[in-house]
């Protein structure tokens, strides 16, 4: 399953009136976070609870592995707090542009 594509080439044009396309993303949000969730795949039992509780929907299962779309992770920490196996740790990081 592919993640939402970013329209990097967005020209800045406006449509006629407020008729816009669905799921049209022109910027990423990784600059929002101070810490980043890291999943320890040795402890993780692939229950996918983290996938359910993430408000952003950036956690997903692919090839029996739990992955995170860091482009849109805001580092809220819900996944780390809710993981029943304590397999997710939040690691400090600076703003993406620094």
Partner 1 sequence: MNNRVFVSGDEAIALGVKLAKPKVIAAYPITPQTIVVERLAEMVEKRELEAEYMYVESEHSALAAVMGASVLGVRTFTATSSQGLLYMAEVLHYASGGRVPLVMMNANRSVALPWSIFGDQRDSLSLLDSGWIQAYVEDAQETLDMVIQAYALAENKNVLTPVMVNLDGFVLTHTYEAIDIPTEEQVEKFLPEFKLEGKMDINAPKNLFFSSSPSDNIRFKLQQHQAMEDSRAIIKELDRQYEEITGRGYGGLATGYRTEDAESIIITLGSITGLVKDVVDALRSQGKRVGVVKIRFMRPFPEEELVELCKNADKIGVLEKDISFGYHGTVYTNVADALKAEGKKLINYIAGLGGQNISADDICNIFSQLQSIDTGVNVPTLNFVGVKG
Partner 2 sequence: MLKNLDKEEYFYGHKGCGGCGGSLAVRLALKVLGKNTFVVVPAGCMSAVGFLYPQLSFGVNALISPFASTGAMLSGIRAAANALDIKDCNVVGFAGDGGTADIGLQALSGAIDRGDRIIYICYDNEAYMNTGVQQSGLTPYGARTTTTPPGDYIHGSKNNKKDMFDIVAAHNIKYAATASIGNIPDYIRKVEKAKNIKGTSYIHVAAPCPTGWGIDSSETVSIAKEAIHCGLWYLAEYEDGVYKLNHEVREYASIEGYLKKQSRFKHLTDEDIEIIQKQRDRKINLIKRKVKNYEKILENQ
- Beta strands 59-62 and 35-39, pairing class: unpaired
- Kindly give, in sequence order, each residue whose CB lies less than 8 Å from that of residue 69, ignoring residues fewer than 6 positions away: 3, 58, 59, 60
Residue 1 or 22 with smaller CB distance to partner 1: 22
Measured from the CB of residue 42, what is the shortest distance to partner 2 in angstroms? 22
**16 forms part of the interface with partner 1 (CB under 8 A):** yes
The CA angle 66-83-96, to the nearest 5 degrees, is: 60
Q: Counting contacts by CB under 8 A, is residue 19 touching partner 1? A: yes
Query: Between 14 and 33, how does the x/- string for binding to partner 2 read (CB under 8 A)?
Result: x---x-xxxxxxxxxx--xx
């Amino acid at each position: 399953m592919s993640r939402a594509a970013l329209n990097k080439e967005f020209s800045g044009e406006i449509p006629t009136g407020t008729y816009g396309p669905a799921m049209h993303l022109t910027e990423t949000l990784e600059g929002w976070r101070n810490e980043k969730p890291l999943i320890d795949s040795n402890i993780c039992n692939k229950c996918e609870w983290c996938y359910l509780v993430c408000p952003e929907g950036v956690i997903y299962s692919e090839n029996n592995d739990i992955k995170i779309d860091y482009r849109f992770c805001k580092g809220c920490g819900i996944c780390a707090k809710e993981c029943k196996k304590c397999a997710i740790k939040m690691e400090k990081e600076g703003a993406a542009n620094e």
